Amino acid sequence: MPASTLPSATDSMPNVPATMRAAVYRDVNHVHVETVPVPQIGPGEVLLKIDTCGICGTDLKKIHSGSHSAPRIFGHEMAGTVVAIGEGVQEFTTGDRAMAFHHIPCGHCYYCRKQTFAQCETYKKVGTTAGFEPSGGGFAEYIRVMDWIVQRGLVKIPADIPFEQAAWIEPVNTCYKAIELLSLKSDETVLVIGQGPIGILLAALAKRKGATVLTSDLYPQRHVIAATYGLDQPLDGKADVVAACKAATEGRGADVALLAVGANSLIQTAMDAIRPGGRVCLFAQTQHGKAPFDPAAVCMDEKTLMGSYSSSVAIQDAAIQLVFDGYRDGSFDLTRLISHRFLLEQSVEAIELASNPQPDSMKIVLSTE
């Protein structure tokens, strides 16, 4: 049903305004805070008032590369409060605190049967929007959550979990998926290249599997933050990381290398840093291009080069519970990874900082209040 024919949320929820503020992508490198209509909802749908939305690296790539048409409203690491529900919605009511996944698969196609959910055609559709072409919408005050997301991707947040913690559920899922794909063993050594927020998540999750974790980054300030998550074997990213990995593993090299930064030049570094028979997982290589590596290392040294992209419904419950329980017991309090908080009205400034990370900048979040 076209959005223009949908019943307005404001028809049944008079406290919801007709317009809202949003950071609108208008062209390459151009985002402006504007007043736009509050999205309308239809049967089976929910209107969510955003409290917190993290700025993700994939949002930034879309803004700076021109890979997506304009106008759009990005943002998908989001949590807030249900303020209106469409006809037929039974599991949620106004006032519920919730986070929304923006991608959820159909559950029955070939790719879903193979648990390669990110390749499902339904998964590739974005199921949350603040208007324009659906693109997440978290950089706005309100989002429309479409019916298939309400059914399988809208998650209630317990009263004792802050929105800033719940907003991590989607990125934690993506990292958890990569760790599960690697089938880590407790006697293995893992190198994580990059200690931004995603790199720290990957490293902390690998350590939870019992692996020995080496972390590499150019900035010592980030190693200090990583240490608060038990990551106590830092490597200087400006030095010889390959030699350091071999020195830590009796000359073999790491069993696994996870690449948490998008620089394709580091693929060869990761391949060189692992032992024969080891695995390299590309996590941040989301833009098409070419990257040279030694094919004989894959063939003769039996090294595996693999990728992991986006979230998985197969581990959704486990990842959610980890985020909730980890906050409660303090072992996985992800609010400590937030270095900068901006109001929605300051979105341009926030995106500028996120696009030009500093040694002391980690996760940057937008708040509507």
Share of the chain above pLDDT 70, in %: 96
Q: Please tell me the predicted confidence (pLDDT) of residue 328.
A: 98
Q: Please tell me the predicted confidence (pLDDT) of residue 1.
A: 40
- pTM value? 0.95
pLDDT at 277 over 90: yes
What's the Cα-to-Cα distance from 207 to each of 8, 171, 179, 233, 243, rounded to whole Å? 48, 17, 10, 11, 22
**pLDDT tens string 289-298:** 999 889 999 9
Q: Report residue 15's pLDDT band, with 50, 70 and 90 as the boundaries.
A: confident
Q: Please tell me the predicted confidence (pLDDT) of residue 197.
A: 98
Comparing CA positions, the residue from 72, 98, 73 lying closest to residue 84 is 98
Q: What is the DSSP letter of 134?
A: -
Q: What is the DSSP letter of 217?
A: E
Task: Kindly list the structural domains of the chain, giving each domain's residue range(s) and its CATH number in brackets, ordered by start.
Answer: 3-157+333-367 (3.90.180.10), 177-307 (3.40.50.720)
**pLDDT tens string 38-93:** 999 999 999 999 999 999 999 999 999 999 999 999 999 999 999 999 999 999 99
pLDDT at 367 over 90: yes
pLDDT at 2 over 90: no
> Higher-confidence residue: 15 or 76?
76
pLDDT at 7 over 60: no
Q: What is the dihedral of CA 179, 320, 199, 111, to 10 degrees?
A: 50
Cis previous bond, 276, omega within 30: no
Q: Report residue 12's pLDDT band, with 50, 70 and 90 as the boundaries.
A: low
